Amino acid sequence: MEQQPLQATPVRTELADGREILYFFDGGRVPSGFLPSSDTRELPARPTTSQLRYDALSGEWISFAAHRQTRTHLPAASQCPLCPTRTDMASEIPADTYDVVVFENRFPSFGPEQHAVDSPVELGAARPSHGRCEVISFGPGHTDSLASLGERRIRTVIEAWAHRTQELGRLEGVEQVFPFENRGADIGVTLHHPHGQLYAYPYATPRTENHLARAAAHRARTGNNIMADILDFEIADGRRILERGTHFTSFVPYASRMPVEVHLVPHRQVADLSELTEAERDELAAMYHRLLCTVDALYPTPTPYIAGWFQAPRNHEHRAEAWLHLQLTSPRRAENKLKYLAGSEAAMGAFIGDITPEASAKALRAATERLQSLTPAQ
């Protein structure tokens, strides 16, 4: 792929209710004459900020966003809010076409206000659910997927992720930015159009807290970073490696929880996507595209998945141990079978694997080989 320059400043405007919308473009350059249309819809006022309540038993914060009960749910293609606006349908994206668009979610789990809040952490504690939630639409085609859109578009998505990570991370009260994609009805998506989301949390998430606590304990015990040791361990073993690049390695982790689970990890420690170099972003676009195509090639029908970027929280005491990485998981354990979290997993967090990580890696490598056999020689 031709090297793509770092993203120029995106085109930024507002929707009818004041929500921000940003346009990103393949190649990093705004097309000549591009001008988004005005959003002429009559929209209701934005919802008030939700409430966070503290669960003293688990030590976790829970956001209650009751307005999300009314969000759009699997609309017909003719009414999709992520398709470009037409004369007969005004969508969330007031433009004839686009490459990648990011806008504030109309039904946010966090926000729309962002403020630092200092309140007691005790039984019965509550605070405003400050933060920000954004939608990222990967392209105008309703039946596309991130995989089908190709490497060049994924490169643009990476630029958008990096831009939003950096900008959202500067907002008052935001502690962690999480770019992710839920793909497929089996995962629970409410829109079929290819898209992802970005959550700007007002706290470090529970899994992040656990990861960093484990990393700090590993550092105290060994003197090493835990992700560096995991990379060395997986590469030395080799059985679960899917691809090794110059800057990234993808592998099925030794103790994966889900039937399909792949981690994509940079070879050097960076805190978040905004710290990746151009060369790293170029390789990431290529490797991520191959990974998504491989996951889809496991079975005759598209594979549902969740893909999320684990990035460093802003002010955590163990932030120095954080190492950017992607975790992609799917509950699909066979062509017509899904893994459901039953009593042991859902209640106790004690996972039981249906497929060994080595068998999963072998199946993914076989899918890659099938794809390569179908690709004409260059």
Strand 11-14 with 332-334, pairing = unpaired
What CATH code is carried by the domain that includes residue 109? Answer: 3.30.428.10
Residues 331 and 187 in one domain: no
Residues 226 and 198 in one domain: no
What is the total count of domains within the chain? 2
With 0.85 as the threshold, say if the pTM is over it. yes
**Distance between CA atoms of 103 and 46, rounded to whole angstroms?**
14
- The last residue of one of the domains, among 149, 181, 204, is 204
pLDDT tens series, the chain, 378 aa: 444 444 468 999 999 999 999 999 999 989 888 888 999 999 999 999 999 999 999 999 999 998 898 888 889 999 999 999 999 999 999 999 999 999 999 999 999 998 888 778 899 999 999 999 999 999 999 999 999 999 999 999 999 999 999 999 999 999 999 999 999 999 989 899 999 999 999 999 999 999 999 999 999 999 999 999 999 999 999 999 999 999 999 999 999 999 999 999 999 999 999 999 999 999 999 999 999 999 999 999 999 999 999 999 999 999 999 999 999 999 999 999 999 999 999 999 999 999 999 999 999 999 999 999 987 655
In a domain, 42, yes or no: no
Residues 194 and 284 in one domain: no
Amino acid letter for position 223: G
Range of the domain at 125: 11-31+50-204
Buried (b) or exposed (e) across 249-259, using 16+ Cβ within 10 A? bbbbbeebbbb
- The last residue of one of the domains, among 178, 204, 230, is 204
In a domain, 1, yes or no: no
Residues 218 and 200 in one domain: no
Contact residues for 165 (Cβ-Cβ < 8 A; gap 6+): 177, 179, 198, 272, 273, 274, 311
Residues 155 and 220 in one domain: no
In a domain, 37, yes or no: no
Residue 163 known to be catalytic: no
- Is the bond preceding residue 206 a cis peptide, omega within 30 degrees? no
Residues 197 and 302 in one domain: no
Residues 130 and 255 in one domain: no
Neighbours of 245 (CB within 10 A): 16
Query: Can you tell me which residue has the tokens 């806008």?
Result: 103
The closest of 21, 177, 195, 198 to 103, measured between CA atoms, is 21
Strands (E), the chain: 11-14, 20-24, 51-55, 60-64, 100-104, 126-128, 132-137, 176-183, 195-201, 241-244, 248-251, 260-266, 305-310, 325-330, 332-334, 337-338
Residues 123 and 246 in one domain: no
- Residue-level pLDDT at 377: 57
Asked if 226 contacts 233 with a C-beta cutoff of 8 angstroms, the reply is no
Amino acid letter for position 33: G
Residues 165 and 27 in one domain: yes
CA-based angle 210:211:216, to the nearest 5? Answer: 100
Asked if 273 contacts 254 with a C-beta cutoff of 8 angstroms, the reply is no
Adjacent-strand bridge partners of 264: 250, 326
Residues 313 and 288 in one domain: yes
Residues 215 and 71 in one domain: no
Asked if 242 contacts 315 with a C-beta cutoff of 8 angstroms, the reply is no
- Residue-level pLDDT at 5: 45
Strand 325-330 with 195-201, pairing = unpaired
Q: Which value, to the nearest 10 degrees, does the dihedral of the CA atoms of residues 257, 261, 264, 268 take?
A: 20
In a domain, 43, yes or no: no
**Distance between CA atoms of 360 and 331, rounded to whole angstroms?**
12
- The last residue of one of the domains, among 204, 224, 245, is 204
Adjacent-strand bridge partners of 166: none
Which one is catalytic: 163, 195, 211, 263? 195
Asked if 67 contacts 111 with a C-beta cutoff of 8 angstroms, the reply is no
